[in-house]
Amino acid sequence: MLPKSDPPLLKPKSPDHSDRKSITLYSIQAFVSAHPRSWLLLSILALQIFLLFVIHSLPVSFSFRHFSPPSNLSVQEEAKEERENVCEYGRVYVYDLPAMFNRELSEKCEELNPWHSRCEAISNDGLGRKANGIIGVVPENLAPAWYWTDQFASEIIFHNRILGHRCRTLDPESATAFYLPFYAGLAVGKYLWSDNYTHHDRDFHSEMLLKWVQDQPYWKRSNGWDHFIMLGRISWDFRRSKDEDWGSSFIYMPAMKNITRLLIERNPWDYFDIGVPYPTGFHPRTDSDVIQWQNYVRTRTRKTLFSFAGATRGAIKNDFRGLLLEQCRNESDSCRVVDCGGNRCSNGSSAILETFLDSEFCLQPRGDSFTRRSIFDCMVAGSIPVFFWHRTAYYQYEWFLPGEPGSYSVFIDRKEVINGTSIRGVLERYSREEVRRMREKVIDYIPKFVYAEPKEGLETIKDAFDVALDGVLRRFREHRKMEDRKGNIRKLK
């Protein structure tokens, strides 16, 4: 039984108070009966006044978003959910390859070139040596973000960035993509310049790498469809058809047929080749570095209409570069030349950067191949590129350049230049407003042309590495969805 409680004490009635209360209640009831709509409006108004009073009495930081429903997730589950939201396209697993495929190649940097050591070029995690003589050309506080980066250092840069990337996973079961950190460009580079080496030498590391990866369980699961690699040279250096020809046959090896390749120059007709920007000398440390640099090149006074940094190719008949140099020198009041004969422009120089910073336009013919690193040196400086081959940029860097070529660049058919068309005449026809719009488009895209210095990337801005990785992950996710749809269709049949 429950314990008994004493009955409540009864208070004596107050006749006067009770009578007044009854009269008041009767008056309110009479008013409500006679004026129901008025009573409803007064009630709503009173409720609003009450709510306003309550809200204003709360702390200043009050916000409705603070009153979200309590989460049933654990701290670990919430952290996982947050990571998955950041990595909307999936996560990447990085293979721990045997040292012969990366670390040993970079450690033996003295042997990578028959003429001189490559150790300085691939130092600082692939960024190269710090840029000297650059203060005065760039703002002093941004000078530490500049390096003399080698154009063939992308393999090392990508490897270091991906190890610290927020979308890297140590669990292969949760991975959308698998990265092979093989320094194929370094491996073949040492064998390219001498007849003392055979095609077996040029293919050795590539063949060994493919034997190794084909033994891995996650390769066998997809036959390489969800695997990708960064090749730090142009596609043609890995497409040797005959034993006596140039380069490696890496891309033509059977196991490579499904692997996505990131390259500084792609074969436009190969689905698995993805063109990514050549590394430039600017490696921002923070979002602020990027924004300050964009403002700097936007407000730069440009004293020269156009410029050309390059050298002639004497061994090439009717060398187009020579023609550009001739036109530029003949228009010395509107064109500035940086003669890069010999090794004067190797890995960039303050003279090239200053020339591009001072120029409205920069001439970008093809290099030794269809592309050249100067394209990105030019645009990072806020100069508008002038192209003469569509394959120099338009068919190469679709993930990184604006979709409309005329919004950021000028195209002049090389045949017209050969037949006497004045480059100066073409460029002078653009109005100040048209030039301003094109330059603004180039400046907007600068983050997509540069590789940030921190391994984890920038705070909120996506650089060239982020764009490339997002693109690969998105491609693999779409492929997997397509395969799932095909599987469902087969089941229905």
DSSP state of 385: E
What does the alpha-carbon distance between residue 277 and residue 154 come to, in Å, rounded to a whole number? 9
- For 298-448, the fitting CATH number among 3.30.1330.30, 3.90.1150.10, 3.40.462.40, 3.40.50.2000 is 3.40.50.2000
Give the per-residue pLDDT at 342: 63
In the prediction, which pLDDT does 174 show?
Answer: 94
Strands annotated E in 220-269: 227-231, 260-263
72: confidence class by pLDDT, cuts 50, 70, 90: very low
What is the predicted pLDDT for the residue at 341? 73
Partners of 273 in the β-ladder: 261
Is residue 462 within 8 A of residue 448, CB to CB? The reply is yes
Judging by beta carbons within 10 Å of its beta carbon (0-12, 13-18, 19+), is residue 414 exposed, middle or buried?
middle
b/e for 259-292, b at 16 or more Cβ within 10 A?
bbbbbbbbbeeeebbbbbbbbbbbbbeeeebbeb
Q: Is it the case that residue 100 has pLDDT exceeding 70? A: yes
- Please give the radius of gyration of the chain, using alpha carbons only, rounded to the nearest integer: 33
305 touches 284 (CB < 8 A): no
Query: For residues 219-233, b (16+ Cβ closer than 10 Å) or e, as one string?
Result: beeeebbbbbbbbbb
> Which candidate, 311, 329, 330, places its Cα nearest to that of 321?
311
pLDDT at residue 49, as a whole number: 54
The pLDDT score that the predictor gives to residue 492 is 67
Cβ neighbours around 306 below 10 Å, total: 25
* Distance set, CA 199 to CA 245, 250, 282 (Å): 8, 11, 37
pLDDT at 343 exceeding the cut of 70: no
Tallying the residues shown for the chain, one arrives at 493
Stretch 464-492: mean pLDDT = 86
- For residues 15-54, one letter each, b for 16 or more C-beta atoms within 10 angstroms of the residue's C-beta and e for the rest, the string is eeeeeeeeeeeeeeeeeeeeeeeeeeeeeeeeeeeeeeee
| 106 pLDDT above the threshold of 60 | yes
Please check the confidence at residue 295 and state whether its pLDDT lies above 70.
yes
More confident of the two residues 64 and 101: 101
**Residue 165 CB burial class (10 angstroms; 0-12, 13-18, ≥19):** buried
Phi, psi dihedrals of residue 158, rounded to the nearest 5°: -65, -45
Tokens of 157: 């840069």
Tokens found for residue 183: 């320094």
Contact by Cβ (8 Å): 112, 118: yes
DSSP 90: -
User: 391 and 268 in contact (C-beta within 8 Å)?
Assistant: yes
Q: What is the mean pLDDT of residues 205-225?
A: 96
Cα distance between residue 192 and residue 199, in whole Å: 10
pLDDT at 411 > cutoff 70? yes
Asked whether the predicted pLDDT for residue 399 surpasses 70, the reply is yes
Q: What is the pLDDT of residues 130-181, one digit of tens each?
A: 998 899 999 999 999 999 999 999 999 999 999 999 999 999 999 999 999 9
Best CA proximity match to 161, nearest among 474, 468, 399, 452? 452
With H, G, I as helix, E, B as strand and everything else as coil, classify residue 308. strand
Q: Domain map of the chain by residue range?
A: 89-279+464-489, 298-448
86-90, 297-301, 340-344: the lowest-pLDDT one: 340-344
Number of Cβ atoms within 10 Å of the Cβ of 11: 6
Neighbours of 489 (CB within 10 A): 9
DSSP E strands: which ranges in 68-181? 92-94, 129-130, 147-148, 168-169, 177-180
Is residue 362 within 8 A of residue 388, CB to CB? The reply is: no
Contact between 126 and 157 under an 8 Å Cβ cutoff? The reply is yes
